[in-house]
Structure 1
Amino acid sequence: MLLITGLVILWVKAPDLYRAKDGAAQATATTRGGILTVAAAVIAAAAAGAGLYFTARTIRLNQQALLETQRTNREADHRGRLALEETQRANREADRRDRYAKAIEQLGHDKAPVRLGAMYSLERLAQDNLELRQAVVDVLCAYLRMPFKAPQRHEPTTELPAEGRENASSSDAIDRELERNTAEELLVRQTAQRLLAAHLHCPPNTPGLNAQAIEASPQVDFWPGISLDLTEASLVDLDLWGLSVTYARFVRATFSGHAEFGGAIFFGDAGFGGATFSGDAEFGGAIFFGDAGFGGATFSGHAGFGGATFSGDAEFTEATFSGHAGFTGATFSGHAEFGGATFSGDAGFTGATFSGRAWFFGATFSGHAVFDNSATFCKDVVFTRATFSGDAGFTGATFSGHAEFGGATFSGHAAFTRATFSGHAAFTRATFSGYAVFTRATFSGRAWFFGATFSGHTAFTGATFSGHAAFTGATFSGHALFGGVTHSENVVLESVRVLRINDRDLDRKWPDGWTVRPDADADADDPTRGTLVRGGSGL
């Protein structure tokens, strides 16, 4: 613009530039010609620039239009794909719902093959659809919770008259039909059990403690994060070896045949309260991270808990063990509750560790009760009013807390050889009918045997009493050996009754400073009864 303005001014002023010179007109014309040439060039350049500008602008607008068209097309394609995917998802969801509903309906079919097919359909749905897994497990558990009882057979015990044989034949046919239906239903139920076991078993080459950390996938058969609810279920020959679940409820369930839970891991609470095990029950090596509830459970066969780990409380209150109960090497980190439990067979707790309170109040041991070989009670243990009909073995056991055996009854031999009592040991009014052996036992705290009755062989030979040891009111009928007692000065035998003091077949050795003084008022039943006194003359 400035250039054009300058050219215009130069055009106007050109005559004045050459007015005083010769040839001014020609010079002016020449100058103005040059101005026109420059102006023409400027105008041409401006026109070319304008053309370039408008061309570039057109290209840019076209590019923007193209980009906008492409963006619009992409958005349309995306919306189309989303709509297609949503339609496909809706179709799959509808198909899944239809298959699920159909399978659920078929579970109630009267034909066993149809019910079997329904279970496999549900299993396939759950394998492919992660969100359905817990629901399918719940359905299978609900099926197993339905009542299942074998029909009663009514077989005649005597020969029927001729007129009744036709009715008997009809009854037999009905019984055979019931048996067939029962056998088919058993097959269906055991299929449900196997499907659960197949998908809840810890995967191979995976440590059991890591199983729940596995990412769920249709390509992996194991289903992590599953809970079981088999409350009051009827289960036959259940095999859940290596099971890995979060929570499990088998409350009041009935286990017919063998029940296998060996190596199972329960990451939450496991409830078996009131359950009935008709056959053997195997929980060897099982791990219970939450509370384990077996209160009121009935074990008719062998109950195997050897090497099991109870990280929470273990509840066996009022449980009944008809066969052998094996807890060898078991670890109880929380409270171990066996109050009122009944052990009809042998009870083995060899090498078991009780880190929390061990409660056996009122428990009944009809067979041998074995707590030998380093059974460890880290806190208080209570066997108050417990009954040991067989031998009770606590040889080498360690009692770090208080040990309460008050009112306990030992009908067989009671062995506490080399047992260690770090806290108080109370055997107040306990009854020992067989051998009572405390040889080389160590009592670091108080030892109370007030009113205890020792009818058989009693041995405290080499025992150590670091605290006060009171036998006041106790009764000794058989052998009584206190030889080699360490810290015998802490042993108090005031008012201890000794029967049959003149029986030469009885071997008796009392702590230093104690003797037997015959009772002046001995009755006819035992005219040789005496009382232990400190010092003085006696036997």
Structure 2
Amino acid sequence: MCAAQRVRVDKLAERGTEDFKRTAILVTITDTSKDDGRYLWLWILLAVLGTMGVGAAIFFGFGLLLPPATDPLTQEPASVFSSASVYDLSRSTLTATGILVGAGAAVIAYRNQRLKESQHSIERGRHSIERSERSLALQREYRTRYEVAAKQIGDNAAVVRLAGVFALGQLASDWPDRLARQSCVDVLCAYLRIPVRGRVATVADATFVEGTMVMVEDEPDKEVRMSIQRLIINHFKRDGEDVHWGDVDIDLTGATLVNADFSGSIFPGRVKLDRVRFSGDATFQGAKFNKQVSFDEAVFTRNSMFGSVTFLEGASFRKVRFKGLNMASARFGAHSRFGGVEVDGGASFSGTRFWKGVSFHNAKFNGRVTFVKTRFADRVWFENSRFHGRTSFAKASFHSSVTFELAEFESAPVFKSAGQALEPKINGATVAGDSWNGPAILKAVDPRPEHDEELNPIQVTTTPADRPRVMRLKRLLLVPRNWARSLWRRVRPAAPTVSKTAR
């Protein structure tokens, strides 16, 4: 019998940098068995000799223990080694020897099976060691690349910073760990959030924004920032050639983006663009935001295009300043906020779908605003809003309550062929300084709007007329369950009772 094989697992100490610490597990396989292949012939010879010895012992043992056979002719006890006795002893010996040999074969087969399982466990351990070593080597390589790229981004030379930017972008594509990818993207976003490097040579060179003097941006640093902006945009394009970064979050709070073109982009993670200054045109045409997005207090210096944008979760545009806004055919799957928004040019929400509540309180529209064929599936608030241009709600549909309290219109809003489910609230609303009597030419619409497979797959809202029908359907579905419960109460065995004295 060979010695047993055992597996010893040793846990090593944690390795890695301060940001990336991992626990490395080294599996060491110790095989204490000897090589028994060269002694195989000896084991076979010993098995044959042992079987012969056991058979001889059984033969003579049966001859001494069993009573002698009777001679059929003389009716006298026959000799132990007569032909009849030898035949009976041989038969008994073969039977007993066969049983012993079978038991031995079973033991040997069991031992071989255990040996194979042990060898298979050793192979698995070896493969595990190789995988662990490869994984540790890759982790060390990724960490080294991260440290080198981070140092390059902090260098004074713009060329070195550019090298660090592209190195971090490629590392975010290669690194399979989601948290590590997020760290790479956070470094790139943090660079854009850092105040602009530059100087003010003369007062004439300075740029004034809302009475505040802004430094002239250094050209090399501007190229680095534009490279980061292009890198981020390309990694979220639908038809981009670069590898997607996955569901990482983007935080560009307070950054400055120049001619940002996110058209057709997909953002799987959260996007935070609060207080971002969009210099030049900002395009989000056909983009898709899978999680929450925030543009609070952002500034758009030129036209902003959000046509056919999809917001699956909440979208916030509070206190945003637009030069011109095009949000036609956009879709909002969750509650959206436009409180305090200010649009200096025209604004278009034509064909937009708001599947949840939307708030425009304290909004200010300084130009023409259109809500033509806009669908409001839930409540909408326009209280204390200011409309300083022509306003049109033609063919819009309000499937829930709408509030225009304290709203101000310079000209009468158009509600031609618009539909409503509930009477709008117009307390304190005015048109050209006079009290507003409310929207005209409205028709009744169904409180249950048609659903959207992606944003609003199931409509659970029911009208009072539908509720009795729904209750009848529920009661009908509960009948089989009640029958099954009553039948089970009858056929189930009674629970054993224990008296207080037995306790």
Query: What band does the TM-score fall into relative to the shorter chain?
Result: 0.5 to 0.7
Do the aligned partners of 1:285 and 1:309 also contact (CA within 8 Å) in 2?
Answer: yes
Give secondary structure in 2 for the equivalent of 1:393: coil
The separation in 2 between residues aligned to 1:5 and 1:399, in whole angstroms, is: 111
Which residue in the other structure is 1:183 paired with?
Answer: 219
Give secondary structure in 2 for the equivalent of 1:10: coil
Do the aligned partners of 2:234 and 2:242 also contact (CA within 8 Å) in 1?
Answer: no
Give secondary structure in 2 for the equivalent of 1:398: strand
Pick aligned residue for 2:309 from 286, 292, 298: 286
Do the aligned partners of 2:415 and 2:442 also contact (CA within 8 Å) in 1?
Answer: no
Give secondary structure in 2 for the equivalent of 1:122: helix
- Is 1:78 aligned to residue 101 of structure 2? no
| 1:44-443 paired onto structure 2 within 5 Å | 63-131=109-177, 132-148=180-196, 151-154=199-202, 182-202=218-238, 221-244=243-266, 245-300=268-323, 302-372=324-394, 374-389=395-410, 392-400=413-421, 401-404=423-426, 406-410=428-432, 419-420=441-442
Do the aligned partners of 1:396 and 1:416 also contact (CA within 8 Å) in 2?
Answer: no
Do the aligned partners of 2:366 and 2:387 also contact (CA within 8 Å) in 1?
Answer: yes
Give secondary structure in 1 for the equivalent of 2:257: strand
Change (3 A) 1:364 1:153: farther
What whole-Å deviation, never above 9, does each CA across 1:67-125 have from its counterpart, x for those lacking one?
Answer: 44443333333222222222222222222222223222322122233333323333333
What whole-Å deviation, never above 9, does each CA across 1:403-459 have from its counterpart, x for those lacking one?
Answer: 4163513279x9999622779xxxxxxxxxxxxxxxxxxxxxxxxxxxxxxxxxxxx
The separation in 1 between residues aligned to 2:104 and 2:417, in whole angstroms, is: 101
The separation in 1 between residues aligned to 2:405 and 2:276, in whole angstroms, is: 31
Deviation at 1:283, TM superposition (A): 0.9
Which residue in the other structure is 1:464 paired with?
Answer: none
Change (3 A) 1:51 1:231: same
Deviation at 1:145, TM superposition (A): 1.9
The separation in 1 between residues aligned to 2:365 and 2:113, in whole angstroms, is: 85
- Is 1:36 aligned to residue 78 of structure 2? no
Give secondary structure in 1 for the equivalent of 2:151: helix
> How high is the TM-score relative to the length of structure 2?
0.63
Q: Which 5+ residue runs of structure 1 have no aligned equivalent?
A: 19-27, 158-177, 205-218, 424-539
What whole-Å deviation, never above 9, does each CA across 1:321-349 have from its counterpart, x for those lacking one?
Answer: 11221111222233332222222222222
Of stretches 135-144 and 257-266 in structure 1, the one that deviates more from structure 2 is 135-144
Deviation at 1:53, TM superposition (A): 6.2
Do the aligned partners of 2:237 and 2:265 also contact (CA within 8 Å) in 1?
Answer: yes
The separation in 1 between residues aligned to 2:371 and 2:270, in whole angstroms, is: 27
Deviation at 1:51, TM superposition (A): 6.3
Change (3 A) 1:36 1:402: same
The separation in 1 between residues aligned to 2:386 and 2:428, in whole angstroms, is: 14
2:376 is aligned with what amino acid? F
Deviation at 1:236, TM superposition (A): 1.8
The separation in 1 between residues aligned to 2:106 and 2:439, in whole angstroms, is: 102
Identity percentage of aligned residues: 24
Of stretches 187-196 and 231-240 in structure 1, the one that deviates more from structure 2 is 187-196
The separation in 2 between residues aligned to 1:34 and 1:135, in whole angstroms, is: 94
Give secondary structure in 2 for the equivalent of 1:8: coil
Which residue in the other structure is 1:22 paired with?
Answer: none
Deviation at 1:258, TM superposition (A): 1.6
| 1:468-507 paired onto structure 2 within 5 Å | none
Give secondary structure in 2 for the equivalent of 1:235: strand
The separation in 2 between residues aligned to 1:356 and 1:6, in whole angstroms, is: 102
Do the aligned partners of 1:347 and 1:370 also contact (CA within 8 Å) in 2?
Answer: yes
Deviation at 1:150, TM superposition (A): 5.8
1:103 is aligned with what amino acid? A
Do the aligned partners of 2:68 and 2:78 also contact (CA within 8 Å) in 1?
Answer: no
The separation in 2 between residues aligned to 1:238 and 1:112, in whole angstroms, is: 22
> How high is the TM-score relative to the length of structure 1?
0.59
The separation in 2 between residues aligned to 1:150 and 1:399, in whole angstroms, is: 55
Do the aligned partners of 2:68 and 2:80 also contact (CA within 8 Å) in 1?
Answer: no
What whole-Å deviation, never above 9, does each CA across 1:7-57 have from its counterpart, x for those lacking one?
Answer: 62637x99xx58xxxxxxxxx7xx846962333444555666676666666
Of stretches 127-136 and 87-96 in structure 1, the one that deviates more from structure 2 is 127-136
Which residue in the other structure is 2:70 paired with?
Answer: 10
The separation in 2 between residues aligned to 1:68 and 1:187, in whole angstroms, is: 67
Do the aligned partners of 2:294 and 2:315 also contact (CA within 8 Å) in 1?
Answer: yes
Give secondary structure in 2 for the equivalent of 1:83: helix
The separation in 1 between residues aligned to 2:99 and 2:156, in whole angstroms, is: 86
Do the aligned partners of 1:270 and 1:291 also contact (CA within 8 Å) in 2?
Answer: yes
The separation in 2 between residues aligned to 1:231 and 1:253, in whole angstroms, is: 6
Do the aligned partners of 1:7 and 1:39 also contact (CA within 8 Å) in 2?
Answer: no
Of stretches 276-285 and 58-67 in structure 1, the one that deviates more from structure 2 is 58-67
Give secondary structure in 1 for the equivalent of 2:278: strand
The separation in 2 between residues aligned to 1:4 and 1:347, in whole angstroms, is: 119
Change (3 A) 1:149 1:298: farther
Output the aligned Cα RMSD.
3.9
2:231 is aligned with what amino acid? L
Change (3 A) 1:422 1:156: closer
The separation in 1 between residues aligned to 2:153 and 2:328, in whole angstroms, is: 39
Do the aligned partners of 1:199 and 1:222 also contact (CA within 8 Å) in 2?
Answer: yes
2:119 is aligned with what amino acid? N
The separation in 1 between residues aligned to 2:66 and 2:420, in whole angstroms, is: 118
